[in-house]
């Protein structure tokens, strides 16, 4: 067999032992906070049926779904079905469903909605679930953008209360602070406010075009936004009316006041403002800070599905896309036939958070995660001598290993060195005769004599002391 060049698909990554320690630290920190707020973990399959996913993420999103080719003779099967249908010409639109019926998970929200509908008889509403799993997008990779990445989602379905939204603000604050981030902004907006604005200028059908354009304010400036609005069907007069909203500044309170003034004639818009106000009030009633919560009217992500609150989290310490986002869907499960169930949720982008923590050097030192004790291996006799001692240490909860072959001691100590193992127990003929083992401290280079029976006590004390 020809040897092939080892490689992994574009936008995917291997994770080394060191990276996994750090990644698990992030996952564990976020998980702990989710649990603390009453969320329970579920998992869903890597693959979903293709029709479960298509049409849920907009045209752009559908293109980014990784499709799985049918197994078996997919081509013969496709032709067979095509004949039944009277042999129309193949097009990319008809060929796809004929050769692919499964796809990789694109996010965690849609599979969750599917889950809720499938298990509606087994769950109690409101249902609060969290999920930490990889998702896949056939995007072009770049900084902070991967084709396989992990999301940490928490959603609650079946509760209209804005208390949920407020708690999500707290969850963001708590989880990100626990991870050591100091300066981040939780941006919040409301779809109803955007609808209200579009309504006021008499172009409710252009709400998406409007928000996509004003979302770019900090990137292209007012002139750029104006240009884009004109291209998207707005008039100069519309833009004049939009200007005060686009250029909204000041504290959350003053932004809200200004919006109220603009939206007086829009019932929807005022409802959105009332929701926003209540969420902020809840947050402060929790005696939590609102200084890193920012009302941002230009925030428009996920507009295809969000109906109420919209969240986005950005770190201000390093340049990076958003590290989290979320919002409310009034009809989360409707697409799967269960009407009238509202849902709201948030997501943490673990891979981006990793990149941020890495750049800010915020990962904690944790030395105890490697092997604590290595038994040297001089020969078969010494190896046999070491095994009961090894078992004893492990039964005491001390992670230990024996070098698996009688290699030169130099090599064995080099192994301990590379793996940052703090102690090596040397067992040779001398030690076996006297029962006094040589314990080498790899940091200081010092060697102590320890009785074989005392060995576990010796390490229990030293490792407990955090060496």
Partner RNA sequence: GUGGUUUUAGCUCAGUUGGUUAGAGCGCCUGAUUGUGGUUCAGGAGGUCGUGGGUUCGAGCCCCAUAUUCCACCCCA
The β-bridge relationship of strands 309-315 and 324-329 is: antiparallel
Q: Which of residues 112-151 bind RNA (CB under 7 A)?
A: 137, 139-147, 149, 151
Instruction: List the interface residues with RNA, window 47-76 (CB under 7 A).
Output: 58, 60-61
Indicate the annotated binding residues for L-histidine.
107-109, 137, 151, 155, 301, 305-306
End-to-end CA distance of the chain: 49
Q: Give the span between the Cα atoms of 426 and 439, in whole angstroms.
A: 6
CA max distance for the chain = 97
Q: Is the peptide bond before 126 cis (omega within 30 degrees of 0)?
A: yes
Q: Would you give the distance in Å from CA 153 to the centre of its chain? A: 7
CA distance 139 to 66: 10
d(Cα 18, Cα 21) in Å, to the nearest integer? 5
# chain residues binding RNA, by CB under 7 A: 59
Minimum CB separation of residue 136 from RNA in Å reads: 9
Query: From the list 349, 374, 385, 455, which residue makes contact with RNA (rule: CB under 7 A)?
Result: 349
324 contributes a contact to RNA by CB under 7 A:
yes
Please say which residue, 123 or 212, places its beta carbon nearer to RNA.
212
Judged by DSSP in three states, 373 sits in strand
Of the candidate residues 7, 76, 85, 261, the single one contacting RNA (CB under 7 A): 7
The answer to whether residue 308 forms part of the interface with RNA (CB under 7 A) is no
Report 238-297 residues binding RNA (CB under 7 A).
none
The residue within the footprint of RNA, chosen from 126, 204, 321, 334 (CB under 7 A), is 321
* Contact pick of 48, 107, 199, 383 for RNA (by CB under 7 A): 107
Per CB under 7 A, which of residues 401..460 are in contact with RNA?
408-411, 413-414, 416-418, 426, 428-431, 438, 440, 442-445, 447
| Closest to 67 (Cα-Cα) out of 84, 50, 51 | 50
Ranges within 156-185 binding RNA (CB under 7 A): none
DSSP 197-234: HHHHTT-GGGHHHHHHHHTTHHHHHHHHHHHHHHHTT-
- Under the rule (CB under 7 A), what is the footprint of RNA? 5, 7, 9-11, 58, 60-61, 107, 137, 139-147, 149, 151, 212, 216, 219, 301-302, 304, 312, 321-325, 347, 349, 351-352, 378, 408-411, 413-414, 416-418, 426, 428-431, 438, 440, 442-445, 447
């Amino acid at each position: 067999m020809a040897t092939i060049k080892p490689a992994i698909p574009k936008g995917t990554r291997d994770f080394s032992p060191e990276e996994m320690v750090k990644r698990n630290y992030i996952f564990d920190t976020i998980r702990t906070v989710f649990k603390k707020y009453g969320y329970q973990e579920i998992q869903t399959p890597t693959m979903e049926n293709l029709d479960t996913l298509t049409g849920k993420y907009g045209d752009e999103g559908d293109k980014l779904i990784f499709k799985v080719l049918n197994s078996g003779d997919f081509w013969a099967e496709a032709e067979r079905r095509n004949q039944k249908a009277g042999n129309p010409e193949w097009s990319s639109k008809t060929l796809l469903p004929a050769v692919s019926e499964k796809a990789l998970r694109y996010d965690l929200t849609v599979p969750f909605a599917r889950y809720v509908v499938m298990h509606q008889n087994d769950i109690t509403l409101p249902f609060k679930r969290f999920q930490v799993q990889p998702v896949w997008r056939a995007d072009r990779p770049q900084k902070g953008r991967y084709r396989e990445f992990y999301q940490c989602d928490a959603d609650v379905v079946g509760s209209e209360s804005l208390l949920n939204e407020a708690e999500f603000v707290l969850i963001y604050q708590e989880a990100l602070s626990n991870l050591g981030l100091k300066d981040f902004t939780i941006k919040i907006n409301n779809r109803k406010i955007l609808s209200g604005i579009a309504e006021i200028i008499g172009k409710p059908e252009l709400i998406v075009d409007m928000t996509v354009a004003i979302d770019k304010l900090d990137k292209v400036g007012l002139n750029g936004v104006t240009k884009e609005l004109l291209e998207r069907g707005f008039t100069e007069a519309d833009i004049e009316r939009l200007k005060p909203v686009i250029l909204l500044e000041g504290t959350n309170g003053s932004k809200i006041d200004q919006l109220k003034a603009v939206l007086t004639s829009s019932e929807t818009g005022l409802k959105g403002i009332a929701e926003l106000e209540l969420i902020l009030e809840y947050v402060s009633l929790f005696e939590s800070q609102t200084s890193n919560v920012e009302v941002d009217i230009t925030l428009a992500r996920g507009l295809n599905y969000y109906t109420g609150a919209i969240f986005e989290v950005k770190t201000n310490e390093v340049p990076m896309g958003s590290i989290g986002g979320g919002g409310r869907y009034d009809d989360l499960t409707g697409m799967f036939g269960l009407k009238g169930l509202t849902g709201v949720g948030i997501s943490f982008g673990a891979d981006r958070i990793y990149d941020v923590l890495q750049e800010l050097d915020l990962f904690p030192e944790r030395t105890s995660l490697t092997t604590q004790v290595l038994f040297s291996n001089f020969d078969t006799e010494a190896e046999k001598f070491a095994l009961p001692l090894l078992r004893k240490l492990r039964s005491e909860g001390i992670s230990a290993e024996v070098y698996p072959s009688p290699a030169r001691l130099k090599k064995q100590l080099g192994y301990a060195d590379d793996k940052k193992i703090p102690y090596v127990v040397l067992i040779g003929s001398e030690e076996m005769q006297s029962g006094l083992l040589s314990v080498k401290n790899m940091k200081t280079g010092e060697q102590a004599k320890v009785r074989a029976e005392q060995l576990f006590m010796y390490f229990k004390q030293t490792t407990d002391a955090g060496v």
